[in-house]
Amino acid sequence: MRSLRVRLVLAAAVGLALTAQPALAQSKAQRAQALQKLSDCRKVADSAERLACYDTAAEALETAEAKGDVVVVDREQAREVRKQAFGFQMPSLSLFEKGEKPEDLDSLTGEVAAARMTSAGKWIVELKDGAVWAQIDANEVPFAPKPGDPVRIRKASLGSYMLSVKNQRSFRASRQQ
């Protein structure tokens, strides 16, 4: 269930990244406005007025969240999204780094769910987390990847990635899904 929720958050982030920039800017403005109204309530001197302000702002924030105008993600969810997006080049994922120094994810481990060789003799490897990686070099893979085999993917030069199955020789790969 948690994995499904994280994937939905990732899908929403990708959807936002693919929509027109004005829509993204408008969404950010609405989010900032809803949070700013809540924050402004601290400045109200009278206790009764401050409480009324908080009640109104909190209700507006909850309504905005229910409508999807505001999305609340905790740090652990944001880390999981960055981990699941490893291998994709999406600058809009930086919204999941707000409020903390982003951890530099240089490598990732996983487990093979399925693997197949293409007609061109290159491997397509699907991991148990749903990520799909495709071989992009001509390196020979001595042993066919099998379900359950451990996988390590690491960043390489010029934005590429190296994938190794069962500590075999690595091959260059790109993230497909």
- Asked if the structure places residue 102 within a domain, the reply is no
The CA distance from 2 to 86, in Å, is: 18
Q: Are residues 56 and 112 in the same domain?
A: no
- Residue 31 in this model has a pLDDT that exceeds 70: no
Name the domain count of the chain. Answer: 2
- Residue 39 in this model has a pLDDT that exceeds 90: no
What is the three-class DSSP state of 153?
Answer: strand
* End residue of a domain, out of 78, 97, 116: 97
Sign of the Cα torsion 138, 156, 93, 152 reads positive
What pLDDT, in 10s, does the model give residues 142-173? 888 999 999 998 888 777 888 989 888 889 88
H helix runs in the chain, sequence order: 2-18, 21-40, 47-67, 75-84
Query: Quick one: pLDDT band at residue 60, thresholds 50, 70, 90?
Result: confident
What pLDDT, in 10s, does the model give residues 117-132? 999 889 899 999 888 9
Higher pLDDT, 59 or 105: 59
Query: Which DSSP state fits 87?
Result: T
**For the whole model, what pTM was predicted?**
0.49
pLDDT reported for residue 38 = 86
Among residues 57, 53, 64, the alpha carbon closest in space to that of 28 is found at 64
pLDDT reported for residue 86 = 66
Please give the residue range of the domain that contains residue 140: 107-175
Residue-averaged pLDDT of the chain: 75
- Residue 75 in this model has a pLDDT that exceeds 80: no
- Asked if the structure places residue 116 within a domain, the reply is yes
* End residue of a domain, out of 97, 121, 139: 97
Q: Are residues 15 and 92 in the same domain?
A: yes
Q: Are residues 128 and 74 in the same domain?
A: no
Higher pLDDT, 2 or 163: 163
pLDDT reported for residue 27 = 44
Q: Are residues 118 and 89 in the same domain?
A: no
pLDDT reported for residue 169 = 87
